[in-house]
Chains A and B, each alone.
Chain A
Amino acid sequence: MNFFLEVLIGGLLSGVMYALVALGFVLIYKASGVFNFAQGAMVYLAALSVVGVMEKGAPLWLAVILAFVIMTLFGIATEKFVLRKLVNQPPIALFMATIGLAFFIEGLAPMIFGSEPRALELGIVDEPIPWILDNWNMVISKFDLVAAGVASVLVATLALFFQYTRIGRALRAVADDHQAALSIGIPLQHIWAIVWGVAGFVALVAGMMWGARNGVQFALTFTALKALPVLILGGFTSVPGAIVGGLIIGASEKLAEIYIPPVMQDLFGGNFGGIEGWFPYVLALLFLLVRPEGLFGERHIDRV
């Protein structure tokens, strides 16, 4: 039972990390209907900017601010030079353009900042908390708790931003109906630029968390693959959905990795570990069969 709890809590905390990446997808999809496949590459770019600037001798806080500036400029440039030119094109063309963007970043970022994997020290050690370990014999990492805290602050900030600021209200209006928002005088292009800037900020937070955890390197782009099942489970358009989806995926994937392979081993013989690659997707798929629009997604009604 203790072990079960340990796995469950570890999974939930990992799920928070997935949710961090998924948030970036949700923001952009919500505001502009673009499925931004370059989000993983943006996470990489953000983390690489931080370590790249730090290598030049800047302190962490300055590096983070500069990286934020870089991400914002990058987001605005993407909106201006790529997406604006593709307005009114089919969603698949936009999706494809973001894949092109991902390649672009994957070539550009290491060219500027170097491609060797580097450590990013945030000053939080990824070690079990001794008190819990002694009293409960459970491993709960300090770092994961901090990450969970960061994620909650981030989500709360975003929620407040969307709910109570002028720009936030404009963003929601655009998300609801582009045409209507335009007609009441909301500057669509500014709003999109802001959304890309915010998505860049989310990518920065995710990049720093993942980078501190596994090192800053090309593989940060793979974090997108962890975020996709979270996305379909939570719904493409829901910020709380990303968090809840992340928790569900994280926990179930860890539990599955521990408890399913032994069962299969009894059935077929052989070693069936390493199911984490597909399990979240199959889970999300099964879930979608029941609720095709995800947990918190908007119900889609077809009219002829």
Chain B
Amino acid sequence: MIRKLKPALAAAALSLAILSPLAMAAEEQFFPLIDYRVGPYGSNGQAFYGGFIDYLNYVNLKEKGVNGVQMTWEECETEYNNAKGVECYERLKSKAAKSAGPIHTMSTGISYALVDKAAQDKLPLAMMGYGRTDAVDGSVFPYAFPLVTTYQMQASAIVKFIKDKNGGNLAGKKIVYLYHDSAYGKEAIIAMEAEASLNKFTLVQIPVAHPGNEQGAQWLKIRQEKPDYVVFWGWGVMNQTALKAAQKVGYPRDKMIGSWWTGSEEDVVPAGDAAKGYMAATWNVAGKQVPVIADIQKVVYGAGKGNLQDAGKIGTVLYNRGVSAAVLSVEAIRKAQEKYGKGKAMNGEQVRWALENLNITDARLKTLGATDLLPEIKTSCDNHEGSGKVKIQQWDGAKWVPVSGWIEGNKGLIHPLFQASAKQYAKEKGITPRDCSKEK
């Protein structure tokens, strides 16, 4: 055992050495960044976490932190691997004991593995557009926040978008749900099925085996089925392959609507012309016309502190998503400071309270320079989602163009599904749900 401890002791010593420069300043808000920049999804992570870090830097440079509290962070590479994600979490958690911003893992698998641990350690876990969706029910999951919107609400919003396009009636239509055959792809099935029986359209489910770089059979089947729309839940290489395969069988791309993990530049650019006209949902818009994005480029990159190697990624969907995630995280810290003391670093419990009491209006977004970057959001104990709205955007061959306003999914249909699932989870785990009427 001693032999094995040796290299690790050296590692521990090294990690102390790295941390020491960070530990000098007085009040600092620490962000444990459990991120990934290599592997099959590495370029997605680079854009997202690049945006996230750039915004934290921006807050530090522009307004000298939140009420004087500087934002600090430490990264840990997970390679999108669950076990490594847990190791990263455990490594960063002791540093997050005193002050902790929300943890963003951008991986459904890792966030599933962290839900229980984070609750035990009183660290807030943000899952923006991924992760354990029944955590919308905050009474069972006090420390997990599927903020802004969830897969199920997204599916419902996409159906609503299609319905509006068809004059409010989907009866007799046929929709194919083409999905990555994993936890991620399967989450939305329950919502699609509920919508199908409500709106009386035919739903055909076609799974694609991981990694999805070969979809010949699936698309021939789609060609045979002749659906009116294809709702598409892919990830990584599966996205480009689907667009190319759609072109190969001559299926019109403007009848394909993807989830928000299929609608970034990384997903469509490699498909070339095959992607033109393709639509995807998103909870944040792309582009540099958003004031805060332009300002980040000026302030952060002007000061030479930009996180991206390739500044061309600024303003892409995933970069802006990283910025949006950071905006919400910093707003939560601001909110927590209002309650627990301005100019102080906030710990996990305090940030948790703030995340549960977020109220970011359009006016507030305007002040932040984030007008229309993301929807308004108001969370509460029984609604950790806070919005449930998405926009549909379309790829015109060079950039993503929003083609709808903010569309809200059918909350009355979807939220009871979350509550039922959360209830089952509470029963399995022996958790007594909080009484949300007593939370303020």
Direct interface between A and B, CB < 8 A? yes
Q: Which residues does A use to contact B, with CB under 8 Å?
A: 3, 6-7, 10-11, 14, 106-107, 110, 114-119, 121, 125-128, 133, 139, 141, 143-144, 210, 213-219, 221-223, 226, 253-254, 257-258, 271, 273-278
Evaluate contact between B214 and A276: CB separation under 8 angstroms.
yes
The B contact surface, by secondary structure, is: helix
The one of A139, A217, A222 that contacts B250, using a Cβ cutoff of 8 Å: A139
The one of B181, B213, B218, B270 that contacts A216, using a Cβ cutoff of 8 Å: B270
Evaluate contact between A214 and B269: CB separation under 8 angstroms.
no
Evaluate contact between A119 and B272: CB separation under 8 angstroms.
yes
The one of B214, B249, B273 that contacts A128, using a Cβ cutoff of 8 Å: B249
The one of B43, B218, B310 that contacts A117, using a Cβ cutoff of 8 Å: B43
Q: Given A121-B272, A276-B214, does the pair A218, B205 have CB atoms closer than 8 Å?
A: no
Residues in B neighbouring A115, C-beta threshold 8 A? 37-38, 42-43, 46
A278 to B210, CA, bound (A): 10
A144 to B214, CA, bound (A): 13
Evaluate contact between A3 and B220: CB separation under 8 angstroms.
yes
Residues in A neighbouring B415, C-beta threshold 8 A? none
A274 to B153, CA, bound (A): 25
The one of B207, B250, B271, B309 that contacts A119, using a Cβ cutoff of 8 Å: B271
* Max count, chain B CB within 10 A of own CB: residue among A114, A126, A221: A126
| Chain A to chain B contacts (Cβ below 8 Å), 19 pairs | A7-B217, A11-B217, A114-B310, A115-B43, A116-B313, A125-B273, A128-B250, A139-B220, A139-B250, A141-B248, A144-B248, A218-B40, A219-B237, A222-B213, A254-B216, A254-B217, A257-B217, A273-B205, A273-B218
Q: Given A3-B224, A11-B217, A119-B269, does the pair A276, B209 have CB atoms closer than 8 Å?
A: yes
Residues in A neighbouring B38, C-beta threshold 8 A? 106-107, 110, 115
Residues in B neighbouring A276, C-beta threshold 8 A? 208-209, 214, 217
In the complex, per-residue mask of B126-146: 1 if CB is within 8 Å of any chain A CB, else 0? 000000000000000000000
Evaluate contact between A219 and B244: CB separation under 8 angstroms.
no
The one of A11, A215, A222, A278 that contacts B270, using a Cβ cutoff of 8 Å: A215
Report the nearest A residue to B250, measured CB to CB. A128
The one of B237, B274, B310 that contacts A116, using a Cβ cutoff of 8 Å: B310
Residues in B neighbouring A114, C-beta threshold 8 A? 309-310
Closest Cβ of chain B to A124, distance in Å, is 11
Residue B307, interface by CB 8 Å: no
Evaluate contact between A214 and B181: CB separation under 8 angstroms.
no
A221 to B38, CA, bound (A): 13
The one of A14, A258, A274 that contacts B208, using a Cβ cutoff of 8 Å: A274
Residues in B neighbouring A143, C-beta threshold 8 A? 248
The one of B214, B248, B250 that contacts A226, using a Cβ cutoff of 8 Å: B214
Evaluate contact between B210 and A277: CB separation under 8 angstroms.
yes
Q: Which residues does B use to contact A, with CB under 8 Å?
A: 37-40, 42-43, 46, 181, 205-211, 213-214, 216-218, 220-221, 223-224, 236-237, 240-241, 244, 247-250, 266-267, 269-274, 309-310, 313
The A contact surface, by secondary structure, is: helix
A116 to B220, CA, bound (A): 29
A219 to B46, CA, bound (A): 16
A182 to B322, CA, bound (A): 60
Report the nearest A residue to B309, measured CB to CB. A114
Closest Cβ of chain B to A262, distance in Å, is 10
Evaluate contact between B42 and A218: CB separation under 8 angstroms.
yes
Report the nearest A residue to B189, measured CB to CB. A271
Evaluate contact between B211 and A219: CB separation under 8 angstroms.
yes
Closest Cβ of chain B to A236, distance in Å, is 22
Evaluate contact between A214 and B240: CB separation under 8 angstroms.
yes
Closest Cβ of chain B to A269, distance in Å, is 13
A160 to B228, CA, bound (A): 51
The one of A116, A126, A258 that contacts B217, using a Cβ cutoff of 8 Å: A258
Residues in B neighbouring A219, C-beta threshold 8 A? 40, 211, 213, 236-237
A85 to B432, CA, bound (A): 62
Evaluate contact between A127 and B217: CB separation under 8 angstroms.
no
A223 to B269, CA, bound (A): 20
Residues in B neighbouring A117, C-beta threshold 8 A? 43, 237, 240, 266-267, 269-270
The one of A106, A128, A221 that contacts B248, using a Cβ cutoff of 8 Å: A128
Residues in A neighbouring B250, C-beta threshold 8 A? 127-128, 133, 139
Residues in A neighbouring B39, C-beta threshold 8 A? 106, 218
Residues in B neighbouring A107, C-beta threshold 8 A? 38
The one of B46, B207, B220, B237 that contacts A215, using a Cβ cutoff of 8 Å: B237
A119 to B248, CA, bound (A): 16
Residues in A neighbouring B206, C-beta threshold 8 A? 273
Report the nearest B residue to A119, measured CB to CB. B272
Evaluate contact between B310 and A139: CB separation under 8 angstroms.
no
Closest Cβ of chain A to B97, distance in Å, is 33
Evaluate contact between B208 and A139: CB separation under 8 angstroms.
no
Q: Which 4 A-B residue pairings sit nearest by Cβ, starting from the closest?
A: A215-B270, A219-B237, A277-B209, A257-B217
Report the nearest B residue to A223, measured CB to CB. B213
A221 to B218, CA, bound (A): 22
A217 to B267, CA, bound (A): 11
Residues in B neighbouring A223, C-beta threshold 8 A? 213
Q: Given A116-B43, A271-B205, A273-B205, does the pair A214, B220 have CB atoms closer than 8 Å?
A: no
A7 to B250, CA, bound (A): 15
Residues in A neighbouring B213, C-beta threshold 8 A? 210, 214, 219, 222-223, 226
Evaluate contact between A139 and B223: CB separation under 8 angstroms.
yes
A119 to B239, CA, bound (A): 13
Closest Cβ of chain A to B183, distance in Å, is 13
Residues in A neighbouring B236, C-beta threshold 8 A? 217, 219
Report the nearest A residue to B238, measured CB to CB. A219
A258 to B225, CA, bound (A): 12
Closest Cβ of chain B to A48, distance in Å, is 12
Evaluate contact between B274 and A126: CB separation under 8 angstroms.
yes
Residues in A neighbouring B216, C-beta threshold 8 A? 10-11, 14, 254
Q: Given A115-B42, A119-B270, A258-B220, does the pair A215, B214 have CB atoms closer than 8 Å?
A: no
New A-B contacts (4) at CB < 8 Å, excluding given A115-B42, A119-B270, A226-B214: A10-B217, A106-B39, A219-B236, A258-B221
